[in-house]
Structure 1
Amino acid sequence: MQIFLVGGAVRDRLLGLPVKERDWVVVGSTPEQMQQLGYRSVGRDFPVFLHPETREEYALARTERKTAPGYRGFDVDALPAVTLEQDLMRRDLTINAMALDSEDAIIDPYGGQRDLEQRLLRHVSPAFAEDPVRVLRVARFAARYAHLGFSVAHETLELMRAMAESGEVDALVAERVWAELVKALGERTPTAFFEVLREAGAMPHLFPELEALFGVPQPPGPHPEIDTGVHTLLVLEQATRLSPSPRVRFAALVHDLGKALTPPESWPRHHGHEKRGLAPLDALCERLKAPKDYRRLASQVMQYHGLCHRALELRPSTLVDLLQRLNALRPQHDLEAFLCACEADARGRTGLEAREYPQADHLRRAREAALSVDAEPFLRQGLSGTALGQAMREARIHAVRSQVCRAGSGP
């Protein structure tokens, strides 16, 4: 039995990056032998075991043969005769198809070190085309390593295009697409994820609501970049700078989906796009089974980012009502995430990336003023239900007017 460190741990070690987790391949063993040694079986589709002490994953070397569409349509062979080179050949990219032996010697049968040096994401073999998840993974690796100068090899892009054209990516299940999307949004350059998918022709299959934004014009005054799709990626870029949260980045990404539904005769203006976008947002979230907290924040940003941009001009009553709609007057609220996504939208415009966004502080002050209103005096008056709510609203409006707007930061 031989044990090798494989995959991402080897890749990141060679790149000089922190190794977050280690995966191991075992050559020349059987499931029975692994269990006799104290390893616990956890694999569902192929033999994977947890080390009895470190709890790291040890997988038996295996080969895979395509037997049906999708990413689970494989026949797996994990017999002791499978070699390390055969196991590495089934992997997606050359930079992920390297191993270290017990002497720290690198085994690199497919040129992973060369591609690391050339900053290329290149597929190992034509078998890449058998697994549609790899289209998403390549795009995600582009998002992870774009800042290091990595790009996708031409021949790999061609293979990805063929997979999109053949409909192979349509076999991806929603949960896997969502999982890869969230991982990509958490990477250093998530815009690269969508740029690669567009180059590969996979966006109409995976994210048609986003692809529909490209080519839709906006007024050149507030939007010097003009193209709505370009603006969307600029907003995502700004959200990435402002927050590490995938939820904030997702909300920023989808905030303008309604502009794809504006009748062409109304271009470049998009009156009412905030409401029109709710239908494609629901369709996207339903299809990908997005969690409720992602949907909720995205819906808030979509509907109210325009009001947030005009916060300095809003009447106290409108400010209070906006805070109420955002649930910002409750102990558990998402106001900071909302403000971050709105600021990203304001800055996600060519030449306006460094603009100030005083609207955020204005809304924060309005919230503090509204929260200074105590319900106790109204309860002592015997008010309840709708009457109590109306009295609280009026008092909050007065507090915002006196504490925020009259201080010179609004009407």
Structure 2
Amino acid sequence: MRFSQLPKSIRQFTTHVLAVILGVVLTVGTLRVSPSQAEPAPSPLTTDTPQLVAQKQSPAAAAIGSSSFVTAAVNRVGKAVVRIDTERTVTRRIPDPFFDDPFFRRFFGEGFQGQLPPEQLRGLGSGFIIDKSGLVLTNAHVVDKADKVTVRLKDGRSFEGKVQGVDEVTDLALIKINAGDLPVAPLGASSNVQVGDWAIAVGNPLGFDNTVTLGIVSTLRRSSAQVGIPDKRLDFIQTDAAINPGNSGGPLLNERGEVIGINTAIRADAMGIGFAIPIDKAKQITAQLERGGKVAHPYLGVQMLTLTPQLAKQNNSDPNSPIQVPEVNGVLVVRVLPNSPAANAGIRRGDVIVQVEGQSITTAEQLQNIVEDSRVGQVLQVKIQRGNQTQQISVRTAELQNASL
């Protein structure tokens, strides 16, 4: 039966019920989408504008937005980050035992003198511009023994670079390119960095140009000996921002886009750990590198080991131990280099350095830092424990010629 054929009273009742049901549905739908019901009304006491709210956001909160603090930091520095390509010609000789073998002589010919054809080795690294006149800071190992250095800017331009100065002890190098009015990376202060701060690495890892990775500062003052490169004199910034081959020499940034370090080291036996040279160290020697002069580092001339009473007891209880050492906190002299300041002053193997210039010494890293902060030719008052006796020795530092302290 059609609706129109129903009695009038039934048609009126059905129409009224449908109207009520439809009204309820529309009301519920409005409640679900109405902004005034979905969110509480703003308090009349609230005076923050959208701009003030944005300023109060933490970097982490800002990162949720469409334009994060990472984007702002990279935009501030990105144009000043460069790619560094190097070329080096290597000539190799066949070892004499093989060179004298008749097979090799027949293979290479009778006129062969044991020298193989020159080989071109190519390297890749990163750097960043610190002066608009064309000064580029990078790692010393990036340009080590390079015959040709090419600096490639983010805008596609390439320049031949001249290595202005190198300091292998701090693994820093300065390159000069003939260009003007270049973008410059703003330098921060690594002394203000704290564990937990944001860390942004920018560079060209594995040949992938203009790569950005994000992490935090994991720890500070990680010694070069702990990192596994004892031939350097550095306390690194450790970060979990991804750093790979090719990142070396590139900047490590804080959340404001300021350079706080120079990415330099990777532990092959660890995942997600990288190390950067504090930018304050680079600031100390940049002027010397620009002049092309050698950076002078003072040294004593000892190989050393941090000593504790527990380690000393273990050594002394070993019947095969070559020496007996005092059971104290200090730095054990493992070896004295010939003709070094320490040797000339009378320091011996087995001595324990317990004080320098009136300051107690408990770790090898502490002693190294004190020596590094001194001057070449400065006389240091060193207190040592030799057996059961304590002696005061004057040691005049000399200029470091190799990586030993």
**What TM-score does the superposition give when structure 1 sets the normalisation length?**
0.23
Higher helix share: 1
Larger-Rg structure: 2
Higher relative contact order (CA closer than 8 Å, sequence separation 6+): 2
Higher strand share: 2
**What TM-score does the superposition give when structure 2 sets the normalisation length?**
0.23
